[in-house]
Amino acid sequence: MNATDATTTDATTAAAGTTGGGPGRPSVAVVTGASSGIGRATAIALAQAGHTVAIGYRTDRAAARRTAALAGGRTMLLPLDLADPAAAARAVDGAAVHLGGLDILVNCAGINRRSPVLDESLADWERILTVDLTGPFACAQAAARRMVRQGRGGRIVNVTSVHEFTPILGGAAYCAAKGGLGELTKVLALELAPYGITVNAVSPGETATRMNGVPDDGDVARLARPAIPVGRPGRATEVAAAIVHLTGPDAAYTTGISLTVDGGLSLMSAIANQRDAAHEQPAHQHRTRSVNAPAATTGTTDTRTTDTRTTATRTSDTRTTTVETTDTRANPWL
């Protein structure tokens, strides 16, 4: 790492950060995977909040420079490849040396692929686990060691996925890695809390990024997603806002959580089955039901209405009760 990798607009007067940078000294953040998508949005938001930001990238230096230009403030380009966890950890520590400390680490870099279990190769499995789990562990360990030595606390945020909790077809390696990173987050939170270091995860749902096939300038409001309650994918800036919150002073009492930002997608797991079950019921079961009751004692007519819209009509011979048990038209999900 050399000095030409640093870009500064006003290094001497950069605003102090929010996690213990100290008076007159900006706090320092490292964001992996910051050349695009959620990582870029996070690096920009942290820089605009006054932090010095090391912009981690794997190979696309031009894209990392674009992030730096959009961020403004004091930034540094940080080549870092999670496929080599030991080298990635050294890069994180080197950035701390170069920038005078480390207060925030955001583990955002990762890869995503799909393969059926029966077709998955060990090489591809190990690649996903290395980049999405072992690499973030190595970076978090390096950052935590640095933060402990500094003695002023810190923040670590791991970007997982809704697939930390929810399986997806073809996602054996990816789900295993993200689930592991979620559990790692909890262990780190337990062990590092005595040092004033909080560790949390943010688990995004579908987010409109290049990795998901959406250009950076795409309008997510035009992308219909009927299976997501809010009706669209998320914006990278919306996920970044949650990450930045967890790095700030208002989150000092929050540690060991996974904050899901998915537009309600993870709430939908039972809806398809609910819809199918409702449609498979015979009409008389989910529309109306008639029941013959014993004879009434009088010949009067009594019409009653309850919260289930039950109407009872008494005659001298029988009482017929009509119950509207389910009105599928009232629920747009059915």
Q: Which residues contact 219 (CB under 8 A, 6 or more apart)?
A: none
Bridge partners (DSSP) of residue 290 are 322
Contact assessment for residue 282 and residue 311, using Cβ atoms and an 8 Å cutoff: no
Specify the pLDDT at position 283.
58
Instruction: Give me the count of residues in the chain.
Output: 334
Q: What is the pLDDT of residue 135?
A: 98
Q: What is the pLDDT of residue 284?
A: 56
The residue assigned the tokens 């909080």 is 198
**3-state DSSP helix/strand/coil % of the chain, to nearest 5:** 40, 15, 40
Using alpha carbons, select from 93, 104, 136 the residue that is nearest to residue 29: 104
57 has catalytic annotation: no
What's the pTM value of the predicted model, to 2 decimals?
0.79
| Burial bucket for residue 150 (CB in 10 Å: 0-12, 13-18, 19+) | middle
Query: Cα(33)–Cα(55) distance, rounded to whole angstroms?
Result: 8
Strand order through the sheet with 28-31: 6-7, 75-79, 52-57, 28-31, 104-107, 154-159, 197-204, 258-261
Helix (H, G, I), strand (E, B) or coil at 171: strand
Q: Which residues of 103-119 are buried (b: 16+ CB within 10 A; e: fewer)?
A: bbbbbbbbbbeebeeee
Which 8-state DSSP code applies to residue 115?
Answer: B
Q: Is residue 246 a contact partner of residue 157, using CB atoms and an 8 Å limit?
A: yes
Pick from 322, 326, 324, 323: which is nearest to 279 by CA? 326
Distance CA(285)–CA(275), nearest Å, equals 15
Q: What is the pLDDT of residue 273?
A: 86
Query: Which residue stretches of the chain are H helix?
Result: 37-48, 61-71, 85-99, 122-129, 135-150, 172-192, 236-247, 271-280, 283-286
**Residues in the chain where the model's pLDDT stays below 50:** 1-4, 7-18, 23, 288-291, 293-334
Which amino acid type is present at position 157?
V
Given the residues 57, 174, 195, 253, select the one marked as catalytic: 174
Taking a C-beta distance cutoff of 8 angstroms, is the pair 229, 175 a contact?
no
CA dihedral 324, 327, 330, 334 (to 10 degrees): 160
